[in-house]
């Protein structure tokens, strides 16, 4: 008995029928790998705009810092100029005040206070102290004069004096006014350090406004660089 088997009774197993499916699977895998790579790596032209934007932002920040620094610098300069102008204004006002005082003294010279000292002590007390050019420190000669004044003041504890600092005509009005004040302060400091009560000694400066010698020579200038002493309260 012969059994006839038809072609439709079993599935073909010919390898040639399975081969057409492999290229499709490989193509799909390649597509998925390409899509993943595209999602991780930006396109070639994408990095350049971000770098340019970062560069512009950095430049803007630097410009802002520079502008702020210049603004702060200009503000500091303005504050210094304002302070310097205020100092100059104060100095000019002081000079004008001293000039006005000098003019009043010339017109209405106040009566001198009687010291109550003997003539020799009066001479010692009124002796001038002189200074080197542009200096306010005491020379050996100045210290010798102050030592004699010191003995007079020690013998008369109620006696009070005023020390006036003077300058020659060289230098600005403001500078000479300050220099005269330093000279008077130097004299007072010496006397106070040697036992005279600070309240017994007043100081002031006339700058160059009251020259002892009106000449314009070295000899005249040397006489004008001085400290002068007047009695403000006598011994009785």
119-233 in CATH: which number? Answer: 3.30.1330.60
Tell me the residue length of the chain.
236
Q: What is the pLDDT of residues 62-112, one digit of tens each?
A: 877 878 877 887 878 778 777 767 666 666 676 677 666 665 665 566 678
Q: What is the pLDDT of residues 28-64, one digit of tens each?
A: 566 656 655 555 555 555 555 666 667 777 777 887 7
CA torsion sign for 21, 22, 27, 30 is: positive
pLDDT at 78: 77
Record the pTM: 0.59
Alpha helices in the chain (DSSP H): 22-40, 47-107, 119-126, 140-155, 173-193, 218-224
Kindly list the domain boundaries of the chain, sorted by start residue. Answer: 51-110, 119-233
Q: What DSSP designation does 111 have?
A: P
57 burial (CB, 10 Å; 0-12 / 13-18 / 19+) is: exposed
Instruction: Give yes or no for a contact between 196 and 150, defined as CB atoms under 8 angstroms apart.
Output: yes
Starting at the edge strand found earlier in the chain, the sheet holding 129-130 runs: 129-130, 226-233, 160-166, 201-207
């Amino acid at each position: 008995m012969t059994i006839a088997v038809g072609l439709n009774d079993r599935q073909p197993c010919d390898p040639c029928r399975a081969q057409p499916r492999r290229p499709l699977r490989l193509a799909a895998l390649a597509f998925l790998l390409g899509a993943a790579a595209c999602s991780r790596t930006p396109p070639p032209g994408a990095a350049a705009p971000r770098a340019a934007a970062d560069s512009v932002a950095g430049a803007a920040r630097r410009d802002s810092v520079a502008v702020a620094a210049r603004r702060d610098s200009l503000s500091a300069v303005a504050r210094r100029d304002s302070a310097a102008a205020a100092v100059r204004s104060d100095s000019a006002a002081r000079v004008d005040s001293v000039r006005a005082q000098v003019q009043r003294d010339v017109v209405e010279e106040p009566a001198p206070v009687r010291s109550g000292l003997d003539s020799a002590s009066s001479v010692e007390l009124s002796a001038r102290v002189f200074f080197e050019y542009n200096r306010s420190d005491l020379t050996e000669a100045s210290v010798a004069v102050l030592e004699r004044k010191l003995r007079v003041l020690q013998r008369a504890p109620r006696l009070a004096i005023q020390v006036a600092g003077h300058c020659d005509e060289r230098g600005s009005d403001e500078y000479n006014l300050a220099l005269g004040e330093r000279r008077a302060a130097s004299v007072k400091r010496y006397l106070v350090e040697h036992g005279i009560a600070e309240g017994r000694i007043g100081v002031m400066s006339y700058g160059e406004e009251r020259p002892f010698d009106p000449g314009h020579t070295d000899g005249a200038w040397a006489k004008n660089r001085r400290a002068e002493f007047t009695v403000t309260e006598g011994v009785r």
